[in-house]
Structure 1
Amino acid sequence: MVPKAFEAGYSHTSGFRKVVKATILVKKKEGMSDEDFIEYYNNHHAQKAVPILQRHGIISYSLTYHLGRDRRLIQDIMHNNAKLLQYDAICTFVFPDYLALAKFLYDKEGAALNSDHENFMDDSQMKMMVGDEFMLIENGEKVG
């Protein structure tokens, strides 16, 4: 049983997924190509994280890239008026509650992954946002 303080969502509300979504903004290591960044993150770092995350009840884990190609395309679409974040990837974890997130963050194997950051990212630039997700449309359908 999860203590009430660690439950997901906001009390007396509806429309939230009742999950804990951790979004991490990542900047690639200086001088690393987009291709090398994707290859390392997808096939090395993320693959090491998967079994640790699964051990702590992760619901989903995804990486979204925002690299040269993406920046050029969105600037073309928006006639160079897009105010883009200066980050190269978004790492998204969805957990059932804060306790599961905390267990992952303090897992010895999970903590050991931090030393791998130097191989592909600038750890000093990493930013995090954590909260629940209010759903308006899911699978193409209006929610609620």
Structure 2
Amino acid sequence: MTIRLTALIKKKEGMTSEEFTEYWSTNHGKIFTSLKAVKENVVKYNQFHVLPKVTEEFAALGMPMAPYDGAAEFWCEKKEDILALFGDEEYRKNAVPDEHNFLDRSAVQILVGEEQLKYQKA
């Protein structure tokens, strides 16, 4: 069974959406994916970037929009792998300090579970 952790995140105050997307995608992405703990424990890592203009269009239709700027998604084979990743000293030394450059760590919300795919277009 694959375990998925999704971290809902907000950009750092004072950052534009463009600055947030660029920094997270380029700078932090390189730091995070270079970590030994990532290579040993993570099956898949995805960044989900919210599209502000599209979000505004949906909000204008009366749809309730979540107050987040993105989601970091991590797939691991078992929960111990996720715990090993986030407990890793190199992660805490390199990735966590960099997170302060682009996101509000106090606003992060975590979901942990498993996927149950019900439909996929062939």
Q: Give yes or no for TM over 0.5.
A: yes
**2:66 is the counterpart of 1:82:** no
In percent, how many aligned pairs have the same letter?
Answer: 24
Q: Quote the residue 2:112 is aligned against.
A: 130
Supply the distance in 2 between the matched residues of 1:105 and 1:20 (Cα, whole angstroms): 14
Supply the distance in 2 between the matched residues of 1:63 and 1:122 (Cα, whole angstroms): 16
Supply the distance in 1 between the matched residues of 2:119 and 2:21 (Cα, whole angstroms): 29
Q: Quote the residue 2:43 is aligned against.
A: 59
Greater Rg by CA: 1
The structure richer in helix per residue is 2
CA offset digits 1:41-90 (Å, max 9, x no partner): 0111121111321122x1211111124223123235xx2x1101101001
Supply the distance in 1 between the matched residues of 2:82 and 2:109 (Cα, whole angstroms): 16
Stretches of structure 2 that go unaligned for 5 or more consecutive residues are: none
Give the counterpart letter for 2:116 in structure 1. Answer: F
Supply the distance in 2 between the matched residues of 1:42 and 1:105 (Cα, whole angstroms): 19
Q: Quote the residue 1:121 is aligned against.
A: 103
Question: 1:31-110 to 2 correspondence within 5 Å?
Answer: 31-52=14-35, 53-56=38-41, 58-76=42-60, 79=61, 81-110=62-91
SS in 2 for 1:44: helix
SS in 2 for 1:105: helix
Length-normalised TM-score, structure 1: 0.77
Length-normalised TM-score, structure 2: 0.90
**How much is the aligned-residue C-alpha RMSD, in angstroms?**
1.4
Give the counterpart letter for 1:74 in structure 2. Answer: F
Supply the distance in 2 between the matched residues of 1:70 and 1:102 (Cα, whole angstroms): 35
